Amino acid sequence: MSEQATQETMQSQPPATAPAAKPAPPKGIVIADSAVGRLKELLEQRQTPEAGLRLAVKGGGCSGLQYSMEWSEKSRERDKIFEKDGVRVFVDPKSYLYLIGTTLVFEQTLMASGFKLENPNVKAACGCGESFSV
């Protein structure tokens, strides 16, 4: 095939388009405004403004893994620390692997109120919502 014919063939074909890329999930832990407000209230009540909320993932529950939340007066040596408007969340390195891209929110409804983790890594959860698997 001549060089001119090759160029004409290439020009007559529509350009290949790459598939649309999905937006990358956020790295780290996102602290929603609702969670910031409630955490500030709780820290003021405890009179421990330097403390933070510790998030962890532990084995257990009917789906294999479950979340743990507790107060921590300070971060530990290898913790990942996420902060928004003066509120801090501590996560140990092992738990962080399961929580990348998670959003911490505070929900208040007529039936219940509490913190909720919206975790994009969850593949299955139990019916009660207390445990999950990835």
Element (DSSP H or E) covering residue 81: strand 80-84
pLDDT grade, residue 26 (50/70/90)? low
pLDDT, one tens digit per residue, over 27-37 is 789 999 999 99
What pLDDT, on a 0 to 100 scale, did the predictor assign at position 59?
Answer: 83
Counting other chains too, the contacts that 114-123 makes at CB distance below 8 Å and 24 or more residues apart are 115/35, 115/38, 115/53, 115/69, 117/55, 117/67, 120/25
- Amino acid identity of residue 49, one-letter, is P
Is the pTM for the entire model greater than 0.95? no
